[in-house]
Structure 1
């Protein structure tokens, strides 16, 4: 099962987050750390262990070298694991050694990135693991600036990526269809002007299904369909248009996922993966 409608975010580089790291530093250290700078000397050194305090999926380690470089910190980082590793309580993720002052100044920023991205990866992993025959998709409901990182975390956890941005693929909704005059006109207009780009068509009632199939989009999204209409629509699509990817969305609950899991290979998009995230409990224990 391909885990992405377009090219999935399987890796991240410093270019994807260095602006966020700099913003975090500017936000947290506009004029230094008055507590640390008062009480500690730059000559003091320490060893710190990055430690998991609960089960989850690790994500975001690439941020640490960038943070060290941006702060010109006298710190060395040695990782024990890679992104995607399963963490149990007490798992050692890596070790930082060097200036105590530098480490105290970056501690919260480092943890914010790692805890947040690991929380998303853990969220995605729980759902994808429970429903392995569904394509568990993210959405564009992400914090501004964090889109690529969030989608990387979803992929790292075992989920799948929907479009990364509005430029990657077209998604036709009711207002677009109203402007074009009909479903088939909307799909045709987008296809003619954007050859080679995938087209997703969202419908919100089963009465639109025949027109939707006739327009031949790459993906048909069944939005907020009842269980009865969902089953009926999926049966029709699988029988008459097997080449069209099926996606379901709108108020997806665990009960709805259990119901949808009887239909192999369909996509389920869930804003929950990224907009309802609990930081994974990870600590930086300074010795």
Structure 2
């Protein structure tokens, strides 16, 4: 099973999050840290352990290195684990050694990034492991500026990536079809204008299946279909147009996932993976 429709986000680099780190530092340290700067000397040293406090999947360590560089901190990061590692309570992820003042100033910022991305990776891991025969897809329901990081976290956890942005792949919805005059015309117009780009067609009624298959998009999205209509649609598409991939979306519940897991190689897109995220409990234990 291919993990996604377009090129998956298998890694992140500093250009993907440097602006976010800059904003975070400006937000948290507009005029220094009055508590730390008052109570601690600049030459005091420490060793701190990045520690998991609950089970989950680790993600976001590259951001930590960027934070150290941008704060000119006299701190050395010594990783023990890498992104994608399975965490249990008490797992030591790595250590920071050096300036105590620098570690105290960056603590909340680095934890915010790593806890958030690890939370997304953990979300994706739980669903992907429970339903291994489904393609668990993310959406564009992400915090502005965090899109690539969030999709990287989904992939790290074992999920798959839908389109990264509006430029990467076409998705035809009812408004687009209405403008073109028909499903067939909409698919053909977009395909002629964008050769080589994948086209996904969203439909919301079983009565549209035949026209959708005849238009031959790369993917047909069944939006808010009932279980009965979902089963009929999948059988018809797989029986008549096996080259077209199938995706289900809209109101995806645990019960709906259990139903969909009867089928093989069905994509299920879930905004839940990135927009309903609990920070994974990770702490920085300063010695």
Deviations 1:219-266 (A, max 9, x none): 000000000000000000010000000000000000000000000001
Secondary structure of the residue aligned to 2:3 is: coil
Aligned to 2:223: 223
Equivalent residue for 1:235? 235
Q: Look up the SS of the partner of 2:222 in the other structure.
A: strand
Q: Distance in 2 between matches of 1:98 and 1:64?
A: 15
Deviation readout 1:95-130 (Å, 9 max, x if unpaired): 000001001000000000000000000000000000
- SS in structure 1 of the partner of residue 61 of structure 2: coil
TM-fit CA distance, 1:4: 1.2
The TM-score, its normalising length taken from structure 1, stands at 1.00
The CA distance in 1 between the partners of 2:62 and 2:4, in whole Å, is 22
- 1:110 equivalent in structure 2: 110
Query: What is the SS of the residue equivalent to 1:209?
Result: helix
1:31-42 matched pairs, under 5 angstroms:
31-42=31-42
Alignment correspondent of 1:62: 62
User: Residue by residue, what CA displacement relative to the aligned partner does 1:67-94 show, whole Å, maximum 9, x if unpaired?
Assistant: 0000000000000000000000000000
Counterpart of 1:135 in structure 2 is 135
1:75 equivalent in structure 2: 75
CA distance in 2, matches of 1:15, 1:130: 34
Name structure 1 gaps, 5 residues minimum: none
Following TM superposition, the consecutive aligned residue runs of length 4 or more in structure 1 with deviations greater than 3 angstroms are none
| TM-score normalised according to structure 2 size | 1.00
Q: How does 1:1-287 map to 2 (within 5 A)?
A: 1-287=1-287
Q: Which runs of 5+ in 2 are unaligned?
A: none
RMSD of equivalent CA atoms: 0.4
1:121-177 CA deviation, whole Å, 9 max, x = no partner?
A: 000000000000000000000000000000000000000000000000000000111
Query: What does the per-residue CA deviation read over 1:185-233, in whole Å, with 9 as the maximum and x for residues that have no partner?
Result: 1000000000000000000000111100000000000000000000000
Q: Distance in 1 between matches of 2:98 and 2:42?
A: 10
SS of match in other structure, 2:111: helix
